């Protein structure tokens, strides 16, 4: 007998195998996306903090002095206004206080910089 094509059991096995692979890959992809967004936010917070400290040194300001994000961009301490990957806003805070991301998501804060994903607040 000449057999052309696949029977139903073979097709079902292939579909089940593909479903298992997708079931493993999707959560890993989502976790990687969450981590990369948080790391990008942390990088933005680091840049804002550095620009804020440079502004304070250049203008002889001490802890507690305030500066806006627009001022940091206008005076070329930042090339452009950073945007959180989640679309949230950044809160610059006074000199001596680290900047914040308004998203409130895990890892989107200054205290998470340099920590492992499992240790993020």
Task: Tell me whether residue 119 is in a domain.
Answer: no
Q: Which domain holds residue 74?
A: 8-112
Residues 92 and 86 sit within 8 Å (Cβ to Cβ): no
Q: Is the pLDDT of residue 22 over 90?
A: yes
What's the whole-number mean pLDDT along residues 53-81? 93
DSSP secondary structure of 12-64: HHHHHHHHHHHHHHHHHHHHHHHHHHHHHHHHHHHHHHHHHHHHHHHTT--TT
The structural domain count of the chain equals: 1
117 in a domain, yes or no? no
pLDDT grade for 1, boundaries at 50, 70 and 90: low
Can you give the pLDDT at residue 115? 85
In a domain, 121, yes or no: no
Query: 45 lies in a domain?
Result: yes
Query: Per-residue pLDDT tens for 93-117?
Result: 999 999 999 998 988 988 888 888 8
């Amino acid at each position: 007998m000449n057999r052309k094509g696949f029977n139903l059991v073979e097709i079902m096995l292939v579909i089940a195998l593909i479903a298992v692979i997708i079931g493993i890959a999707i959560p890993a992809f989502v976790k990687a996306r969450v981590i990369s967004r948080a790391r990008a936010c942390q990088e933005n917070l680091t840049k804002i903090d550095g620009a804020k400290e440079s502004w304070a040194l250049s203008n002889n300001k001490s802890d507690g002095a305030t500066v806006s994000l627009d001022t940091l961009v206008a005076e070329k301490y930042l090339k452009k206004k950073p945007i959180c990957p989640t679309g949230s806003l950044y809160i610059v805070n006074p000199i001596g206080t680290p900047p914040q991301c308004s998203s409130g998501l895990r890892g989107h804060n200054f205290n998470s910089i340099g920590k492992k994903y499992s240790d993020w607040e």
